[in-house]
Amino acid sequence: MQPASILESALYVTDLDAAEAFYGAVLGLERIARVEGRHVFFRCGTGVVLLFNAEATKVPPTAGARLPVPPHGTTGQGHLCFAAHADEIERWCAHLKESQVEIEADFHWPSGGRSIYFRDPSGNSLEFAEPKIWNL
């Protein structure tokens, strides 16, 4: 057996309001859920980006909890890569600069394809890359 795809990816943020503004306004993702002080979730294509306040996810669920999700146990900065074709990456470069988001790296992979790297307000490393960097 093999998983068909990734359904959700999680990052941990230090400020949910700043994260919501960044992922919603700058990246244009649709917010689909928010629990004050705990998380904000966004739709991204056929998947979901989960943004958690790490401290709020350390506590095990109480007995009889409606959603008994176990603690994630992760803290600190992470990485997430969004798929984009070459012309889209050009537009993202312009949009990020216009939004005063610094592009940390912009390069072409030896195997083909381009990536740009930048950070969200919590310092998570984000990337737009052409799927062909993975031969997709």
pLDDT block averages, 10 residues each, the chain of length 136? 91 96 98 95 97 87 82 86 96 97 97 96 97 91
pLDDT for 124 equals 97
pLDDT for 94 equals 97
Closest CA to 119 of 100, 135, 134, 133: 100
pLDDT for 3 equals 84
pLDDT for 71 equals 80
pLDDT for 69 equals 82
The CATH T-level fold of domain 8-61+75-134 is 2,3-Dihydroxybiphenyl 1,2-Dioxygenase; domain 1 (3.10.180)
Domain ranges of the chain: 8-61+75-134
- Answer for the pair 32, 20: CB distance below 8 angstroms, yes or no: no
pTM summary value: 0.93
- Answer for the pair 133, 109: CB distance below 8 angstroms, yes or no: yes
Question: What phi and psi values does residue 23 have, to the nearest 5 degrees?
Answer: -70, -30
Residue 43 neighbours by CB distance under 10 Å: 13
DSSP 6-24: --EEEEEES-HHHHHHIII
pLDDT for 106 equals 98
What does each C-alpha distance from 119 to 2, 46, 90, 100, 105 come to in angstroms? Answer: 32, 23, 17, 11, 11
C-alpha 90 chain-centroid distance: 20
pLDDT for 31 equals 98
